[in-house]
Amino acid sequence: MDAYNTMLARRSIRKFQDKPVCTEDIDKMLRGAMSAPSACNKQPWEFYVVTNAELLGKLQTSSLFSRYKSPCIIVVAGNKKHCITQKENDFFYQDCSAAVENLLLVATQLGLGTCWCGLSPMKAPADKVSQILGLEKHIVPVALVHVGHPAESKEPRTQYNEKKVHFFN
């Protein structure tokens, strides 16, 4: 599948087979994620890959909107010690988001399903994830990504809307 069709095929998958994700695939997703662009190439991201059943159970209930049963969760977090301003409104949100989207696209290529669940700036779920994973204060969890072999299928689509495009010719 080429890059364009991979983008269209990527959909949020919320039902997963009871089958582990192999380490080679996890490695490819992380390599894809870390190839993302970042402001001043700071790469202010950290990845927490969770396959431990007890931790998965806890993470799945960290937010009302992430209660899906998956065999693997990857939490992507911003590291304030490695970002530009060390402030809450730093570019690390964009940097981590670029890494997350890359991760989802690699997963799609590999035939895996993913669901991106937002954490910070929602304080309650971000704090809960920090507490579950024992993250230090300078680590800000931005996204919780469920990964697994899909147990549902969704149609590729673009959502193209010409009203959202503004040309200055």
Ligand X SMILES: Cc1cc2nc3c(=O)[nH]c(=O)nc-3n(C[C@H](O)[C@H](O)[C@H](O)COP(=O)(O)O)c2cc1C
Note the residues at the interface with ligand X (CB under 6 A): 11-12, 14, 63, 65-66, 115-118
Q: Looking at beta carbons only, is 9 or 55 nearer to ligand X?
A: 9
For residue 169, the minimal CB distance to ligand X (Å) is 30
Shorter beta-carbon distance to ligand X: residue 79 or 114: 114
CB of 23 to ligand X, least distance (A): 26
Give min distance, CB of 12 to ligand X, in A.
3
User: Minimum distance between the CB of residue 13 and ligand X, rounded to whole angstroms?
Assistant: 8
Q: Angle of helix 53-60 relative to helix 123-133, nearest 10 degrees? A: 170
Structure tokens at 24: 């080679």
Residue 84 near residue 91 (C-beta atoms within 8 A) = yes
CB of 18 or CB of 65, closer to ligand X: 65
State the greatest distance between any 2 C-alpha atoms of the chain, in Å, as a whole number: 56
Contact 115/14 with Cβ under 8 angstroms? yes
| For ligand X, the closer CB: 5 or 23 | 5
- Dig out the tokens for 117 from the structure: 């669940």
**SS3 at position 63:** coil
